[in-house]
Amino acid sequence: MFSELNSYIQNVKKAQSEISESRKVHLRKIANYIREKVEPKLIFICTHNSRRSHFCQIWSAVMADYVGLDIIKTYSGGTESTAFNPRAVAAIKRAGFKVENPGGENPKYKVYFDGQKEPLICFSKTFDDAYNPQKDFAAIMTCSDADENCPFVQGAEKRFSIPYIDPKESDGTPQEAETYDESCRQIAMEMYYLMSNV
């Protein structure tokens, strides 16, 4: 794992007390689901699959690898597709990831967390896109809009809700980078808690 990213994770591990008890209850429910599966598959879902669901996909994959749970497969999707937002991409770079952008309207970013491992492929898509599993997965709703507007997720055997505040609210303001970094850090912290409880 890249040294900068490893340092970031060490700091996140030390901050577990920042997670509220109510959040921990929801995260442990997902951990219980994972524990019962031979090959757990998680799809993180928000409206546009541009920010929070990507943070969750990336950090859940990295934290699963970090604690030795490489059987877990993580994905993301939206109720509609746009693109992995460049502000969110910038935030993961600041956290220590290396990112390749092939260009295009909806780029398939290659997100590296370790020089010896395959990158995560991150791009915006609907949750039912062929790139994602079509059955036997947990649907994890990361925003309240997607949770309310998508009451049924075809193929999901379990559904969980762990909504996050949308960092989009700060777009175009002086607080933009700080807000995205806070969102990235919160999700990293909670995904570490989740995977360390499996």
Record the tokens describing residue 58, joined without a space.
């990336």
HSE of 102 in the Cβ direction (CA atoms, 13 Å)? 10
Distance of alpha carbon 161 from its chain centroid, rounded? 13
Dihedral of CA atoms 123, 130, 141, 144 in degrees, nearest 10, equals: 70
Pairwise CA distance, residues 155 & 128, whole Å: 9
pLDDT reported for residue 145: 77
CATH of the domain at 123: 3.40.50.2300
Say how many residues make up the chain: 198
76 backbone dihedrals φ, ψ, rounded to 5°: -145, 160
67-88 in b/e form (b: 16+ CB < 10 A) is eebeebbbbbbbbebebbbebb
For residue 137, list its beta bridge partners. Answer: 156
56 neighbors 76 (Cβ within 8 angstroms): yes
pLDDT reported for residue 147: 66
Residue 57 is part of which domain span?
A: 3-164+172-196
Record the tokens describing residue 75, joined without a space.
């994905």
DSSP E strands, the chain: 41-46, 73-78, 98-100, 109-112, 120-122, 137-141, 156-161
pLDDT reported for residue 144: 79
pLDDT reported for residue 152: 76
How many domains, in total, are found in the chain?
Answer: 1
Other Cβ atoms less than 10 A from the Cβ of 143: the count is 24
pLDDT tens string, the chain, 198 residues long: the values are 999 999 999 999 999 999 999 999 999 999 999 999 999 999 999 989 999 999 999 999 999 999 999 899 999 999 899 999 999 999 999 999 999 999 999 999 999 999 999 999 999 999 999 999 999 999 999 987 766 766 678 999 999 999 999 999 999 999 999 999 999 999 999 999 999 999
